[in-house]
Amino acid sequence: MLFSTTAFLFSFLPRALAAAWLTSFGPYWLFLLTLTGASAYFYYAHIPLYLGLLVLSAAVSFGIATLVEKGRRRWLYLAGIAFNLVPLGYFKYWDFIARNVDRILGLPFTPANIALPLAISFITFEQIAFLSDVHAGRIERGSPLRYAAFISFFPKLIAGPIIRYTEMLPQFRAGKRPSLDLIITGLCIFSIGLFKKVAFADQLAPSADRIFGLASGQLVSGTDAALAISAYAAQIYFDFSGYSDMAIGLACMLGLTLPINFFSPYKATSIIEFWRRWHITLSRFLRDYLYIPLGGNRGGVSKTYVNLLLVMTLGGLWHGAGFAFVIWGALHGIALVLNHAWNSVRPAALAQSRLMSLVGWAATTITVLLGWIFFRAVDLGTSRNMIESLFTPWTMSTLEPRAIHLLGFCWLIILACPNTAQMFRFSFLLKGSESNYLQQIPAARLGLVALGGTLLFFSVVIIVSGTPNAFIYFQF
């Protein structure tokens, strides 16, 4: 059930909000039970059978955490991590592994076509972080109901963010509930995200899809290749940015706070800064639960660079079961290594140079755009054709003028406009504060409400008149 469908907007969401509002006046356990029930129904609506998998996974993880908390047993903690990784390996990587093993052995391959359970990658990471934090004594396991509400929370099930239990349990203990002010504010934030998705991301998709589709079997003009790459870069920007806004807005309507997961990454002046702005919660998970346990920067320069490259390569594989994703992750890993190496020898005077910032932004943008070729292409052959096409003659584009104008307008918004967090002044969320959203909104509160209402109206018109596209990160 996508957020940009009439079924969600006019059926599920009003009922979920009404139930949450009514039960918020009673005991807090009833509100959490309602929230968990709504989230379970949301998960059930995707593939009913997989709801049992979610329940089993959460129950076993919570049970292991209980035993680990009592005795700090390391072998149980490791068994819990393995338990969570096995389903992810089967559902997400079985076909990929079997295909390549059969290719090596010269055997025929028949894909199993296994349907991916909703949010399995995000839930797996969240449960690994939960077990790690309980094992390290950073958080208590809490009650089964609180854990169920945390792991099943529907606003983050489509494409994250990857939430830590340490961020949600304090809110549950504080008795966070929905209020009229939070519902209005959350609806405004949600509306901005919805508009980004249906008015920009979904409208850019046909241009990128058509050119990448052609490149799967032939070269295209350099102009079309460049436009398709920039169209996909803008598409995934608004798709992920829009979803991140919607997730925060939905949580706000329910009285809860989610961490910021997206903060104008195309304005970054280095690849290090890019990953502090793009999928922020994934970056911090990889840092805290993979990079640091591997040794981080404690083993010298060479060890640090090896760890960076390994973590980013695995991060690429996490995004998808294919060699193109591995190359994408490795490319970003190499870029991070070069960025850190440059920072270690860069003269201090250049750190504040506007010219170097501009050069850094250009180098970062080019690296990111080249990386998106592998991320978007269906196979390595398409990636190769797209790269080769950049060096073919730059003739008149085959895209419609309207599509090119939309692309230019979208890039203007990306580079020149403030993001939603800046508009609503909730950058305090980066620090984990639980302040009331409305206390952070400027005097132009009514103007933001009017903007949200207007964008919601136009978004609904677009949705009713067409077929919504799935979120790009939905497949991960």
303: its two tokens = 């060890």
Q: Does an H or E element contain 231, and which?
A: helix 222-253
User: Out of 319, 332, 340, 405, which one is annotated catalytic?
Assistant: 319
256 burial via Cβ count (<10 Å: 0-12, 13-18, 19+):
buried
Distances (CA, A) of 148 to 168, 172, 221, 282, 386: 11, 12, 52, 21, 45
404: its two tokens = 């090119």
Q: Which long-range contacts (CB under 8 A, 24 or more apart) does 33-38 make?
A: 33/145, 35/149, 35/153, 35/254, 36/145, 36/148, 36/149, 36/152, 38/12, 38/154
CA 377 – CA 323 distance, rounded (Å)? 11
CA 105 – CA 268 distance, rounded (Å)? 45
- Which residue carries 């490259």 as its tokens? 309
DSSP state of 321: S
Contact between 413 and 244 under an 8 Å Cβ cutoff? The reply is no
CA 265 – CA 114 distance, rounded (Å)? 33
CA 308 – CA 117 distance, rounded (Å)? 29
107 burial via Cβ count (<10 Å: 0-12, 13-18, 19+):
exposed
DSSP state of 428: G
SS3 262: strand
CA 368 from centroid of its chain's CA atoms: 16
CA 121 – CA 159 distance, rounded (Å)? 9
Q: Is 135 a catalytic residue?
A: no
Active site residues: 319
